Amino acid sequence: MGGSWWIAPGRMVAGWLALLFLTAGCGYRFPGEMVLPGGARAVRVELFENRTGEPGLESIVMQAFAFELSRRGRSAQKGEGKDALRLQGVIRSVEVRSVSAARRGSGGERQATLTVDLRLLGEEGVVWSADSLSASEIYVIDTEKLFEEDRRRAAFSIAARRLAETLVNRLSDDF
């Protein structure tokens, strides 16, 4: 029998059953499973208030949050009332700072940081809130002003997606 990898059918079934029982009791939840406060089934994302000088940022941030909630199966459609919570947000600040200088043959880098305050509202008022959540993204500086602007906006969009993921993860953990 030396070197044979054959396993008796009974042992194989026992091994699979043991694996099934071990994983069944581990408390793992799939990422899409969220429990919302008050038995709510969905979250409606409202247009964020933009307190920065960055035009159009409120739409980018709102869309990032709506997409992430939709991806997790918790986005509300128009007309859904009682079972839906409302997410309100304020974009408090944006910051763009240099993180590396341009050198011969390579461009420098900048970091775009986005900071928001969030409130989740139910029929009774605020059910969850978080102040000063921030996320950043680094982008390469371009000598062409138009490309530079596009990269900066893309960096803010990525930061907004990270904030949305943070929100959904916190909601999943807190409730």
pTM: 0.72
Residues 6 or more apart from 155 whose CB is under 8 A from it? 110, 111, 112, 137, 138, 139
> Tens digit of pLDDT for each residue in 124-160?
899 989 999 999 999 998 878 888 899 999 999 999 9
> Tens digit of pLDDT for each residue in 1-41?
555 455 556 666 565 555 444 444 433 344 545 667 777 77
Q: How is the chain split into domains, by residue range?
A: 35-174
Tokens of 137: 């993204």
Specify the CATH number of the domain 35-174. 3.30.160.150
- Return d(Cα 133, Cα 44) in angstroms, integer: 19
- Considering 3-17, 51-65, 102-116, the range whose residues carry the highest mean pLDDT is 51-65
CB 134 within 8 A of CB 117: no
Q: Minimal CA–CA distance to 43: which of 61, 68, 10, 11?
A: 68
